[in-house]
């Protein structure tokens, strides 16, 4: 087949943008009174500087004698707290816009500025705060109508649309959060050309980079790894685990070049810290002197005086958490001094924070408003707390002019330690390592206001004078005791130590590196990464056993595993085998989303699941830190115990579901603690006997109706910008009595199975009336989402026939109605692509209900794959190989049995070959019946047949061996398989398949046989891995797979004639 070389892009002139425009950009972005600091302008110039080359084209500025990457982002940005380090996100976006001129002028040039910007910090609430700030940035660019923000937005749109400046199909910048590994929360990976900001924890970004995405099925692992390791900037904010993860990032940067034909896309790991870790060679520092100028706003922050009183240790270990909490609460009330002040209390353990909060709430000072802030909260609950903090005027931009109505005390864990943009008048804290204390004091008078601030540091007796060796703090180690002794030596005549930034730097100025290291939290090193490790990780299907654990490469050796994500559902019944298909059908229609999930340390979750006493959370609130040693050993002992606890003399079913997307099966319903791993997404029935208050900080009281824990419909609507309504008896019964439609909802569910079979039109009519009634109601506080979702569904499914088709009856007991239209005023956070099985991946259609023909889907994917490859700067030969794979990827769907599946399982309905159809059954039971009726093999894979059909006509491939290999591998792996082995499919009765593709007749008869070791699938994978590198091959796969998904998305939202 002759190579197509047409360029699918048209170009229009784009406005000029220079690195010297940064100050204007920053001011327009954040307000006329906000000019950038000198260090911000200097860094922006460094990473965005361009000049004219001798031939009149632009060239990147490069220091003489520098290596290829050194002229752009440094290894480390050394700045103290309060310097505005999160503005590095703004700088990265600006630099990308400045360098975006390359794409329209030279489509096959790789730009040095990364499109994907990851802001990584191991404090969950700070992840959310960075996410909100980035969303504000993106919204201003999206809405810009003129000026420099419009110029920046136009350039970013040009990149997102593959160089087309006259098309507006993509936003200039998208923003996402990777706080937990939720199924269908990977919209950051939707478009490889899209400028994107992602706020993430180390575990989430690190596990994806190393081909082991926590909480996701293995089919998606290569795509995430390819996207993160190419065209990417990783800003690692100061955290105790920065050292091992930074070392891993540096190893990945080295191994990216281990390839015969490296793709040379940029990859910049940058750590932001006042004290850069060892090994950072290129360090950016603020040399302006603004931080020492008392008249400059940065100088006022760094010169502010922050005296801290040291309270003598009087809290023995035997007194436990209660005595410590009482001391902290008493100190906070004393700092208020009867005034309207804002005080923050920092604790080292979640349990201590909860106990302190309860004491303050129970104190004799009801006029004090108290707030508990930990990382153990759901996003829907955390949003309410965030709104409360804004109402209390605790944010830095509110502190100068705030007038509190009454005193405020915030009780927090380490979750506020790094990067929180809050400003307090007083501070109480448990003693920690010196670096952690300095971070905490960054929240005290953060803006350098003219106030008399005050602070208190508290320590336990056994921490001040440890009696046993080897029982150091699990996070701060010996540094906690060393810090206390150093503070005692350096306190003034009043028994206080000034934690002001400049004052503390002066105190530390006389210490050498070894003395300073004793005061800081122990820094661990990652294991040495070897090529053999990456060989194992890159094999994602099937995953080798054993396979190296990625945890030590993210957080250092001897660190315990981190969190699981849990959520609750009221519509699942795990009491019998018969009910489990219905459970999985319900979850497939409404998968867990990040808004409803709660992060729980895996040790706490395992003790809770075992039902063995109180699961008190004695862990620190840091995403990478484990629990204390005695707790961990106790956890191991409990794993061997039964997960059944007796309640009222009967055995209570303690089973939960480990959610792996559509791959979830009956085997993932488990009750043994040993069945669960870090990163798992776990769905808990609301009738589970365990006390949910032991798992986290929820707004639902332990004595309330447990059905209220189920917030899935509300979270689904926010996360995916699509409405959903599950009408289950338990859920409808929990509706407030103030909703008049509650009675009609319960009546609709009565005798549902019999009525739906006998009078489906009547059920559909009653459902439509219920939606109209709900939409017209005025629900009480907290229930407005129900009226909105009902109204959105009523407008979308206004016809009775369509409502009947789209309504899913689950287990003959309840209804699920899922909207398809995006809610325009919400941010869509759909899944990036499908790695589902053949039977469920093709159940979509055009908006008018017509099926998608194969002859339309294939060239559509081909065009998008070519656009992705050109936009990413690949050479012509690779562009055409990726595009050819797009044309061939789904030809295996021409199998007549698969075509019958697309027509509901009927072998008698014929027509043109289809790619997708709304008649594809949606539930597990219906899919199984349709598959059996059509004769399609269980676990069949259409992409394997696609490979055989492509091989049947050599003219449709390439003469060059490496390009032929690449096309066939991309086709074979476009659903995540064949890395390196093809799945086994028992298909002895496979019929002959023929398909006409642009004048080429493709034929194959019988089973594909690609599961055989001598089939060439595995050999081809290893040849390509050596040629393009581990992450390079994954990157090429991602370009095709995302083109396939984006085309399917387009087909769902545009009719054929469009």
The answer to whether residues 750 and 871 belong to one domain is no
pLDDT of 51 above 70: no
Amino acid 925: pLDDT = 75
Q: Tens digit of pLDDT for each residue in 883-900?
A: 999 999 999 999 999 999
Range of lowest pLDDT (206-210, 407-411, 909-913): 909-913
Q: Among 519, 551, 585, where does a domain finish?
A: 519
Its pTM surpasses 0.75: yes
CA 31 to chain centre: 30
Q: Which domain holds residue 386?
A: 305-519
Range of lowest pLDDT (552-566, 906-920, 972-986): 552-566
Q: Average the pLDDT over 660-665 and give the result.
A: 82
Percent of residues, the chain, with pLDDT higher than 70:
86
Amino acid 797: pLDDT = 82
Residue 561 pLDDT level (bands cut at 50, 70, 90): low
Amino acid 638: pLDDT = 41
The answer to whether residues 491 and 613 belong to one domain is no
CA distances from 427 to 355, 437, 619, 717 (A): 18, 11, 22, 39
Residue 514 pLDDT level (bands cut at 50, 70, 90): confident
Task: Determine, yes or no, domain membership for 711.
Answer: no
Q: Between 512 and 721, whose confidence is greater?
A: 512
Amino acid 467: pLDDT = 66
Measured CA to CA, the distance from residue 70 to residue 932 in angstroms comes to 59
Task: Determine, yes or no, domain membership for 61.
Answer: yes
Amino acid 636: pLDDT = 37
Q: Average the pLDDT over 36-51 and give the result.
A: 88
- Over its C-alpha atoms, the chain yields an Rg (Å, rounded) of 29
pLDDT of 780 above 60: yes
Amino acid 438: pLDDT = 93
Residue 5 has a CB neighbour count (10 Å cut-off) of 8
pLDDT of 705 above 60: yes
Q: Between 721 and 511, whose confidence is greater?
A: 511
Q: Average the pLDDT over 402-431 and give the result.
A: 89
pLDDT of 566 above 80: yes
- 3 prior amide bond cis, ω within 30: no
Q: Among 488, 504, 519, where does a domain finish?
A: 519
Q: Among 262, 292, 322, where does a domain finish?
A: 292
Q: Average the pLDDT over 828-842 and give the result.
A: 48
pLDDT of 1 above 90: no
Amino acid 702: pLDDT = 67
Residue 241 pLDDT level (bands cut at 50, 70, 90): low
Q: Between 836 and 910, whose confidence is greater?
A: 910
Task: Determine, yes or no, domain membership for 597.
Answer: yes
Amino acid 728: pLDDT = 94
Measured CA to CA, the distance from residue 122 to residue 124 in angstroms comes to 6
Token pair of 318, please?
Answer: 């035997």
Q: Between 1026 and 105, whose confidence is greater?
A: 1026
Task: Determine, yes or no, domain membership for 444.
Answer: yes
Range of lowest pLDDT (139-148, 491-500, 603-612, 616-625): 616-625
Residue 59 pLDDT level (bands cut at 50, 70, 90): very low
Among 849, 823, 817, 856, smallest CA distance to 1048 is for: 856
Among 592, 605, 622, smallest CA distance to 696 is for: 605
Among 365, 469, 347, smallest CA distance to 411 is for: 347
Q: Between 423 and 169, whose confidence is greater?
A: 423
Q: Between 275 and 256, whose confidence is greater?
A: 256
Residue 1050 pLDDT level (bands cut at 50, 70, 90): confident
The set of residues, in sequence order, having a beta carbon less than 8 Å from that of 411 and lying 6+ positions away, is: 344, 345, 347, 353, 356, 357, 360, 370, 371, 372, 373
The answer to whether residues 488 and 622 belong to one domain is no
Burial of 244: CB neighbours in 10 Å, binned 0-12, 13-18, 19+: buried
CA distances from 962 to 165, 576, 707, 814, 1031 (A): 34, 53, 57, 53, 17
The answer to whether residues 282 and 315 belong to one domain is no
The answer to whether residues 602 and 648 belong to one domain is yes
Residue 729 has a CB neighbour count (10 Å cut-off) of 16
Residue 652 pLDDT level (bands cut at 50, 70, 90): low
Amino acid 628: pLDDT = 45
Residue 836 pLDDT level (bands cut at 50, 70, 90): very low
pLDDT of 648 above 70: no
Range of lowest pLDDT (44-58, 318-332, 375-389, 926-940): 44-58
pLDDT of 1033 above 80: yes
Q: Which of 73-77, 547-551, 552-556, 945-949 has the highest mean pLDDT?
A: 945-949
Amino acid 645: pLDDT = 46
Amino acid 623: pLDDT = 54
pLDDT of 699 above 70: yes
Token pair of 17, please?
Answer: 């943008």
pLDDT of 424 above 90: yes
pLDDT of 35 above 70: yes
Residue 525 pLDDT level (bands cut at 50, 70, 90): confident
Token pair of 689, please?
Answer: 């006997």
Range of lowest pLDDT (27-31, 67-71, 539-543, 589-593): 67-71
Do residues 329 and 360 make contact, with C-beta atoms less than 8 angstroms apart?
A: yes
Residue 630 has a CB neighbour count (10 Å cut-off) of 10
Amino acid 990: pLDDT = 93
- Strand pairing report for 58-60 and 50-52: antiparallel
Amino acid 633: pLDDT = 34
Measured CA to CA, the distance from residue 475 to residue 470 in angstroms comes to 13
Task: Determine, yes or no, domain membership for 538.
Answer: no
Range of lowest pLDDT (368-377, 460-469, 630-639): 630-639
The answer to whether residues 647 and 751 belong to one domain is no
Q: Tens digit of pLDDT for each residue in 949-958?
A: 999 999 999 9
The set of residues, in sequence order, having a beta carbon less than 8 Å from that of 531 and lying 6+ positions away, is: 255, 258
The answer to whether residues 340 and 309 belong to one domain is yes
Residue 57 pLDDT level (bands cut at 50, 70, 90): very low
Amino acid 55: pLDDT = 39
Amino acid 63: pLDDT = 35
pLDDT of 113 above 60: yes
Amino acid 284: pLDDT = 94
pLDDT of 482 above 50: yes
Q: Between 56 and 399, whose confidence is greater?
A: 399
Range of lowest pLDDT (169-183, 524-538, 608-622): 608-622
The answer to whether residues 578 and 647 belong to one domain is yes
Q: Average the pLDDT over 589-601 and give the result.
A: 88
The answer to whether residues 815 and 876 belong to one domain is no
> Across 90-190, where does the E strand assignment appear?
116-120, 174-178
Task: Determine, yes or no, domain membership for 345.
Answer: yes
Do residues 510 and 470 make contact, with C-beta atoms less than 8 angstroms apart?
A: no
Q: Between 317 and 1012, whose confidence is greater?
A: 1012
pLDDT of 4 above 70: no
Residue 320 pLDDT level (bands cut at 50, 70, 90): low
Q: Between 927 and 596, whose confidence is greater?
A: 596
Do residues 747 and 740 make contact, with C-beta atoms less than 8 angstroms apart?
A: no
Amino acid 239: pLDDT = 56
CATH number for the domain that contains residue 1026:
1.10.3210
Burial of 987: CB neighbours in 10 Å, binned 0-12, 13-18, 19+: buried
The answer to whether residues 629 and 737 belong to one domain is no
The answer to whether residues 808 and 860 belong to one domain is no
Domain count, the chain: 5
CATH number for the domain that contains residue 487:
3.40.50.300
The answer to whether residues 88 and 228 belong to one domain is yes
């Amino acid at each position: 087949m002759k190579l197509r070389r047409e360029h699918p892009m048209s170009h229009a002139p784009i406005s000029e943008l220079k690195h010297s425009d940064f100050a204007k950009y920053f001011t327009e972005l954040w307000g006329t009174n906000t000019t950038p600091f000198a260090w911000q302008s200097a860094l922006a110039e460094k990473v965005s500087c361009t000049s004219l080359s001798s031939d009149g084209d632009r060239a990147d500025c490069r220091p003489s004698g520098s290596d290829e990457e050194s002229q752009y982002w440094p290894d480390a940005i050394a700045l103290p707290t309060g310097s505005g380090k999160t503005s590095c996100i703004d700088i990265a976006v600006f630099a990308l816009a400045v360098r975006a001129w390359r794409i329209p002028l030279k489509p096959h040039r790789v730009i040095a500025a990364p499109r994907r910007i990851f802001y990584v910090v191991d404090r969950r609430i700070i992840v959310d705060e960075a996410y909100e700030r980035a969303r504000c940035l993106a919204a201003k660019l999206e809405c810009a109508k003129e000026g420099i923000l419009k110029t920046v937005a136009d350039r970013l749109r040009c990149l997102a649309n593959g160089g087309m400046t006259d098309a507006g199909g993509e936003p200039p910048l998208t923003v996402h959060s990777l706080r937990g590994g939720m199924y269908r929360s990977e919209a950051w990976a939707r478009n490889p050309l899209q400028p994107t900001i992602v706020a993430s924890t180390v575990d989430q970004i690190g596990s994806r980079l190393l081909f082991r995405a926590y909480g996701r099925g293995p089919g998606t692992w290569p795509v995430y790894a390819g996207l993160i390791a190419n065209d990417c900037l990783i800003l690692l904010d100061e955290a105790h685990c920065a050292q091992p993860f930074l070392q891993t990032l540096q190893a990945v940067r080295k191994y990216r070049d281990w390839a015969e034909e490296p793709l040379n896309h940029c990859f910049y790991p940058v750590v932001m810290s006042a004290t850069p870790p060892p090994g950072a060679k290129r360090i950016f520092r603020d040399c302006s002197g603004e931080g020492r100028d008392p008249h400059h706003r940065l100088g006022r922050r760094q010169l502010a005086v922050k005296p801290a009183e040291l309270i003598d240790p009087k809290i023995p270990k035997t007194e436990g958490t209660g005595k410590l909490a009482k001391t902290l609460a008493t100190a906070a009330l004393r700092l208020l001094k009867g005034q309207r002040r804002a005080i923050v209390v920092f604790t080292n353990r979640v349990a201590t924070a909860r106990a302190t909060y309860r004491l303050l709430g129970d104190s004799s000072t009801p006029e004090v408003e108290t707030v508990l802030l930990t990382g153990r909260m759901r996003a829907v609950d955390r949003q309410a707390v965030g709104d409360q903090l804004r109402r209390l005027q605790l944010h830095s931009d509110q502190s100068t002019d705030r007038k509190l109505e009454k005193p405020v005390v915030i009780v927090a864990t380490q979750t506020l330690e790094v990067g929180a943009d809050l400003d307090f008048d007083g501070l109480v804290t448990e003693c920690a390592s010196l670096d952690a204390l300095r971070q905490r004091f960054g929240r005290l008078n953060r803006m350098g206001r003219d106030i008399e601030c005050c602070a208190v540091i508290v320590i336990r007796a056994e921490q001040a004078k440890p009696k046993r060796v080897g029982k150091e703090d699990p996070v701060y180690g010996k540094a906690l005791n060393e810090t206390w002794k150093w503070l005692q030596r350096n306190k003034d005549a009043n028994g206080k130590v000034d934690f002001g930034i400049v004052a503390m730097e002066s105190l530390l100025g006389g210490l050498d590196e070894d003395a300073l290291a004793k005061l800081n939290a122990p820094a661990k090193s990652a294991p040495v990464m070897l090529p053999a490790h990456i060989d194992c990780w890159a094999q994602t299907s099937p995953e080798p056993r054993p396979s190296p654990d990625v945890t030590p490469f993210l957080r250092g050796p001897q660190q315990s595993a981190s969190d699981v994500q849990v959520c609750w559902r009221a519509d699942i019944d795990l009491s019998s085998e018969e009910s489990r298909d219905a459970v999985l059908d319900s979850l497939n229609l409404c998968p867990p989303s990040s808004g409803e999930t709660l992060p729980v340390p895996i040790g706490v979750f395992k003790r809770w699941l075992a039902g063995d006493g109180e699961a008190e959370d004695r862990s620190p609130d840091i995403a990478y830190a484990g629990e204390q040693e005695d707790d961990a050993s106790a956890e191991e002992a409990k794993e061997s115990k039964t997960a059944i606890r007796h309640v009222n003399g009967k055995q209570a079913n303690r089973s939960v579901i480990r959610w792996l997307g559509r791959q979830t099966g009956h085997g993932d319903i488990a009750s043994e603690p040993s069945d669960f791993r870090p990163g798992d997404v776990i769905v808990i029935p609301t009738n589970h006997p365990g006390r949910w208050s032991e798992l986290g900080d929820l707004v639902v009281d332990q004595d309330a109706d447990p059905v209220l824990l189920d917030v899935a419909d509300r979270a689904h609507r926010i996360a995916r910008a699509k409405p959903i309504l599950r009408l289950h008896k338990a859920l409808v019964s929990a509706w407030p009595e103030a909703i008049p439609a509650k009675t009609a909802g319960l009546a609709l569910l009565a005798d549902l199975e019999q009525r739906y079979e006998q009078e489906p039109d009547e059920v559909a009519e009653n459902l439509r009336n219920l939606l109209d009634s709900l939409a017209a109601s005025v629900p009480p506080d907290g229930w407005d989402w129900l009226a909105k979702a009902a109204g959105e569904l009523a407008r979308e499914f206004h016809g009775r026939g369509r409502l009947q088709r789209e309504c899913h009856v689950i287990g003959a007991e309840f209804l699920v109605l899922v909207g398809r239209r995006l809610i325009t005023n919400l941010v869509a956070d759909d899944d990036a692509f499908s790695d589902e099985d053949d039977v469920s991946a093709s159940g979509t259609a055009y908006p008018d209900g017509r099926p998608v023909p194969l002859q339309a889907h294939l060239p559509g994917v081909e065009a998008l794959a070519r656009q992705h490859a050109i936009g990413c700067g690949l050479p012509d030969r690779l562009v055409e190989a990726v595009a050819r794979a797009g044309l061939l990827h789904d030809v295996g769907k021409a199998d007549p049995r698969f075509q019958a599946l697309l027509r509901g399982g009927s072998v008698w309905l014929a027509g043109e070959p289809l790619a997708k159809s709304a008649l594809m059954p949606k539930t597990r039971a219906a899919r199984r019946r349709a598959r059996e009726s059509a004769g399609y093999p269980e676990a069949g894979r259409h992409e394997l047949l696609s490979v055989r059909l492509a091989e049947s006509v050599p003219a449709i491939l390439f003469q060059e061996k490496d390009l032929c290999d690449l096309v066939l591998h991309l086709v074979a792996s476009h659903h995540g398989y064949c890395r390196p082995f093809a799945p086994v499919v028992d298909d002895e009765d496979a019929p002959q398949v023929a398909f006409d593709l642009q004048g080429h007749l493709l034929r194959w008869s019988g089973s594909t046989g690609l599961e055989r070791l001598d089939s060439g699938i595995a050999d081809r994978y290893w040849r390509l891995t050596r040629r393009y590198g581990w992450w390079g091959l994954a990157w090429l796969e991602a370009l095709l797979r995302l083109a396939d998904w984006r085309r399917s998305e387009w087909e769902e939202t545009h009719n054929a004639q469009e």
